[in-house]
Amino acid sequence: MKFLKYLLGIENLEKRILKIEEKLQNSDSENSEDTEQILEVLTRPFTTIQIAEKLKKSRSRVSSLLNELERTGKVKEVGKIKREILYKKTINS
């Protein structure tokens, strides 16, 4: 059976699938930690850039997480400074 799996490439495929699943689990826990950090920082309205600077994360990473938090109702837009959006925690979070 092992030889057949080897011939078909299934064994390598199974290993690659396990590695991908492991990376996804690690990514989920990292997202969760970063999301919690953003919520802790939002003691008052901040822009994406301000949050990124405080957390030492990239602006695109913070922006992506803020979009997810906005979709789940944990933060909301409360204004703008020039072209930058101000975000604030909602009461629910």
Distance between CA 55 and CA 49 in Å, rounded?
Answer: 10
Mean pLDDT of 65-93: 90
Mean pLDDT (the chain, rounded): 84
- Return the pLDDT at 20: 79
- Return the pLDDT at 81: 87
CB within 8 Å of 40: residues ≥ 6 apart: none
CB within 8 Å of 76: residues ≥ 6 apart: 70, 87, 88, 90
Nearest Cα residue to 54 out of 83, 22, 77, 87: 87
pTM, two decimal places: 0.68
Q: What is the CATH number of domain 2-89?
A: 1.10.10.10
